[in-house]
Amino acid sequence: MTFNLSSVALFCGSCSGNGEKYVQLAAAFGAKCAELNLTLYYGGARLGLMQAAAEAALARSGKVIGVMPELFADDVVVANNITEMIKVKSMSERKQTLERLADAFVALPGSFGTMDELFEILTDAQLGLHSKPIVILNAFGYYDHLIKQVDKFMEEGFLRPFHRGLLLVATSVDEVFEKLESYQNPNDQAWLDKHIVR
């Protein structure tokens, strides 16, 4: 790989969605992380796609680390069989911790929480606060409308093309890791030097 990749942070739903296909997708992603010997960071829940990915990685002797805000009930939400659990005080601290610890970020199907994580990590990449790859797994066309909206941002002049390039799109688990393998940060250093105080 063209950069140091030893871990991936997963953003995805704490629900399973409609149909087994989403659970199978998350399980395939978790299994692939274990196969590639990548530490899987995620939100730490034993629910939905989060659970499916974590358990698939663990079943193949993968390393799985959860980052969980203290506000969630241990006996309902919090996974108790993963490699390590990091407890934080808030949802904001969870995102900051995942951003700091992981080498890359992948979004599977999800909703508000997944979008919150995805767009914060994209905004920080836009501002040059990190230069790590970000991929959405658009299986089954799940994110077609989101991708169109992001393209609309650019078409209407609210998003620069080099910032649009920060969001990579894959349609399969294997393609996710192909995108990570060939990643080159498209951000514009001249733009950063002009706009960001170091």
- pLDDT score for 74: 79
* Helix, strand, coil percent values for the chain (each to nearest 5): 45, 15, 40
Confidence of residue 77 (pLDDT cuts 50, 70, 90): confident
Q: What is the pLDDT of residues 25-39, one digit of tens each?
A: 999 999 999 999 999
Q: What is the mean pLDDT of residues 5-18?
A: 96
Mean pLDDT across the stretch 121-130? 98
**Helix or strand or coil: residue 71?**
coil
- C-alpha 181/C-alpha 55 separation (Å) is 25
Domains annotated for the chain, with CATH where assigned, are 7-195 (3.40.50.450)
Strand ranges (E), 96-197: 105-107, 134-137, 167-170
pLDDT given for residue 4 in this prediction:
82
**What residue has token string 């080099």?**
162
Identify the band that residue 3 occupies on the pLDDT scale cut at 50, 70 and 90: low
**pLDDT for 73 beyond 80:** no
Rounded to two decimals, the pTM is: 0.95
